Amino acid sequence: MPDHDLHDAIFRLPCWCGPIEIEPLPGGITNRNFRVRDRAGGSFVVRSGQDIPEHGVMRFNELAAARAAHAAGIAPEVVYATNGFVVSRFIDGETLRPARVCDAGMLERIVLLLRRCHQDVPRHFQGPALIFWVFQVVRHYIGLLAARGADPTVIDLTGLAAKSARLEQAVGPVTIVFGHNDLLAANLIDDGRRLWLIDWDYAGFNSPLFDLANLASNNELPAALETQLLESYFGAPADLAVRHRFGAMQAASLLREALWGAVSHLTSTLDFDYVAYSRDYQRRFERSWREFEGQGA
């Protein structure tokens, strides 16, 4: 939908208390996001987007997760939702960057936030919920790319499927919690008093190892901080078995992100360089895969 049509649709939403001003928010690579200043009601974020079946994004699930996360005290309040739009309160704070995530003190705060997500959000979640199993996502993406005739000289889908199967076997049985599953630094906001977690597109039940691995791989935590992350979350020394499973999940997270970029290049209408994004994550996956193999896989 063109910007002027989106603006008209946002103006017509019945949740505003007075005259509003709309400005686009940068950085979204899945949805269109806008900040709305309501002169009588405060500041809000409007997310525009429909279901995205190729990515498993279902808006009923995103909305239920966002509401449950607010009830758990870790996400902004959803004040209005209708077909194609979710309106939440604007959080005035610092949107994190990877360098901030790679700070030992900040990492401790993020661990506490993740524990609350994993343990508290499902207590408030209403209705049916999705599961996010990264290896099934990878299988889906590989099948979709194969059906679209992906160039085997650019992306070796058969080889990636075999590697993913080995990683899934290495992860083994898991504990199930409620995961955010998209821990880019930009989805964390520090208002100076507390951390907030936003953007629940991919939320669903999952292993806690995925959120930990996803956080570490997306933000390129150094080895010492990976150890801190694992030991702080689990409250115990990170033995070789845990590190091996964590390494497998990190590689899987990077592979999923690379394939996500390749699929988005074929399907998204947003102005973003998905090809460069996918190539970057493919390089990072191959490095992570070599490290995983070096652990004695």
End residue of a domain, out of 89, 112, 146:
89
Res 187: pLDDT: 96
Res 26: pLDDT: 83
Q: Strand, helix or coil at 42?
A: strand
Span 245-251, average pLDDT: 97
Contact 181, 214 (CB under 8 A): yes
Q: Considering the chain, what percentage of its residues have pLDDT values greater than 70?
A: 98
In terms of residue numbers, what domain contains 215? 94-294
Contact 17, 41 (CB under 8 A): yes
Q: Verify that 124 and 268 share a domain, yes or no.
A: yes
The model's pLDDT over 78-89, given as tens digits with 9 standing for 90+, comes to: 999 998 999 999
Whole-prediction pTM: 0.94
The model's pLDDT over 55-71, given as tens digits with 9 standing for 90+, comes to: 999 999 999 999 999 99
| Range in 73-82, 146-155, 274-283 the model is least confident about | 146-155
User: How many domains does the chain contain in total?
Assistant: 2
End residue of a domain, out of 89, 105, 134:
89
Q: Verify that 114 and 154 share a domain, yes or no.
A: yes
Q: What CATH number is attached to the domain comprising 220?
A: 3.90.1200.10
| Core vs surface per residue 37-58: b (16+ CB within 10 A) or e | ebeeeeebbbbbbeebeebbbb
Q: Verify that 179 and 254 share a domain, yes or no.
A: yes
Q: Verify that 32 and 105 share a domain, yes or no.
A: no
Residue with more model confidence, 144 or 149: 144
Sheet containing 32-38: order of strands: 20-24, 32-38, 42-48, 85-89, 78-82
Q: How far apart are CA 252 and CA 256, in angstroms?
A: 6
